[in-house]
Amino acid sequence: WIGDASGGFLRLIDQTRLPTECVEIDCLDSAAVWNAIKRLSVRGAPAIGVAAAYGAVIGARARGTDDPKAIRTALKEASAYLRTSRPTAVNLFWALDRMEAAADDPGRAPGSPLLERLLAEAEAIAAEDRAMCRAIGRHGAELLVPGDGVLTHCNAGGLATSDYGTALAVIFSAHEQGKSVHVFADETRPLLQGARLTAWELQNRGVPVTLICDNMAAQVMKERKIQKVVVGADRIAANGDTANKIGTYGVALLARAHGIPFYVAAPSSTFDLSLADGSGIPIEERDPLEITHGFGRRTAPEGVAVYNPAFDVTPAELITGIITERGVVQPVDAETIRSLIGDSNATR
């Protein structure tokens, strides 16, 4: 966030251009934030939540007045609009719920103008996100031992959060503690977040990483190069069923077949306790062109039918533990989740 509540704006790295180009996008209205989320310029459940919170601040200014009533109306409109950007990651809805609640509650900055209170709430969401990353890193690093090979899928790193990630926080934290770990990064078709973003982040921080295609994970497991799997999450139901990037469910089945522990790393804001299990999680289907023209040129025959679900749901029974900022949910079941996370989604 650059500037103050009344004139500031949101500056994002355009993740679709990494790692070959590092281009920033300045979002001056809520449509720009909506587009950045929709187009995956900003992605990763926690980062989407933070971006949406700032987007709500920008949207709340849309009527160009200081009148609190007009600001509240504009905020509600912007929030409703931003909610339509992507369906699966619950952090989007969680953050916008918080922003709407903050508009009616002077708690965080009593006496301040409403816009400043809204910006303060968005800043608080971002700050909590940074603290969350560090706490997840600490809890998760305890699960790794020196020499571990760790497989991860998609990108749950610094680019997906306000600090250094969820799944990757576990790895970065272990690395900082001097535990030598070697990461295998699934490239993660169709949009190659693993190749473009995860490999890049790990390389930048000096963590040894080997890039593989998604379909090589089973072979690498068979060769006993993987001791742990750690992935992020986009939405976790009350029983622990976890939506994450397409391919995660397959990785979990392969880990089970090889006797490899499978961990999910996610903040409490990624839990959706309103859903009893994963069957209620909406799964986004994305443009077939991501598969047929994903690299700037056509790689499939014209007119071919394509199925492109962006997420899948891994059932709780395949998950060894869920690493949250409050500790590790283990075993993964409704009772353990309720006792650790139970009150976190109070605004929903």
Taking the mean position of all CA atoms in its chain, how far away is CA 329? Answer: 18
Q: Choose, by CB under 8 A, the member of 157, 247, 267, 321 that binds its own copies.
A: 247
Q: Rule CB under 8 A: is residue 289 a binding residue for its own copies? A: no
Closest approach of its own copies to the CB of residue 159, in Å? 13
Stretch that binds its own copies, among 37-45, 133-141, 208-216, 336-344 (CB under 8 A): 208-216
Q: Rule CB under 8 A: is residue 68 a binding residue for its own copies? A: no
Q: Choose, by CB under 8 A, the member of 220, 236, 266, 323 that binds its own copies.
A: 220
Q: Rule CB under 8 A: is residue 331 a binding residue for its own copies? A: no
Q: Rule CB under 8 A: is residue 108 a binding residue for its own copies? A: no
The position carrying tokens 């989604």 is: 345
Closest approach of its own copies to the CB of residue 283, in Å? 9
Measure the CA–CA gap between 3 and 23, rounded to whole angstroms: 20
Q: Rule CB under 8 A: is residue 113 a binding residue for its own copies? A: no
Closest approach of its own copies to the CB of residue 243, in Å? 11
H helices of 230-288, where? 248-257
Q: Rule CB under 8 A: is residue 211 a binding residue for its own copies? A: yes
Closest approach of its own copies to the CB of residue 11, in Å? 23
Taking the mean position of all CA atoms in its chain, how far away is CA 150? Answer: 19
Q: Rule CB under 8 A: is residue 246 a binding residue for its own copies? A: yes
Stretch that binds its own copies, among 30-38, 133-141, 205-213, 232-240 (CB under 8 A): 205-213
Closest approach of its own copies to the CB of residue 331, in Å? 20
Q: Rule CB under 8 A: is residue 280 a binding residue for its own copies? A: no
Q: Which is nearer to its own copies, 244 or 324 (CB)?
A: 244
Q: Which is nearer to its own copies, 111 or 307 (CB)?
A: 307
Q: Rule CB under 8 A: is residue 222 a binding residue for its own copies? A: yes
Which residues within the stretch 164-203 sit at the binding site for its own copies (CB under 8 A)? 184, 186-190, 192, 195-196, 199-200, 203
Annotated catalytic residue within 129, 186, 214, 234? 234
H helices of 142-198, where? 167-176, 193
Q: Choose, by CB under 8 A, the member of 127, 309, 317, 342 that binds its own copies.
A: 309
Give the Å distances, CA to CA, from 13 to 31, 35, 86, 232, 297: 17, 13, 19, 20, 24
3-state secondary structure at position 64: coil
Q: Are 262 and 319 in contact (CB under 8 A)?
A: yes
Which residues make Cβ contacts (< 8 Å) with residue 265, sequence separation at least 6? Answer: 136, 140, 156, 166, 167, 169, 170, 230, 231, 232, 233, 322, 323, 324
Which residues make Cβ contacts (< 8 Å) with residue 1, sequence separation at least 6? Answer: 8, 9, 10, 11, 54, 119, 122, 123, 126
Q: Which is nearer to its own copies, 50 or 319 (CB)?
A: 319
Q: Please, what is the end-to-end C-alpha distance for the chain in angstroms? A: 26
Q: Is 234 a catalytic residue?
A: yes
Measure the CA–CA gap between 5 and 22, rounded to whole angstroms: 27
Q: Rule CB under 8 A: is residue 292 a binding residue for its own copies? A: yes
User: How many of the other CB atoms lie within 10 Å of CB of 39?
Assistant: 14
**φ/ψ (deg, to 5) at 151:** -95, 135
Q: Give residues in contact with its own copies (CB under 8 A).
A: 19-20, 153, 184, 186-190, 192, 195-196, 199-200, 203, 208-220, 222, 246-247, 249-251, 253-254, 256-257, 291-292, 294-301, 303-309, 312
Catalytic residue IDs: 234
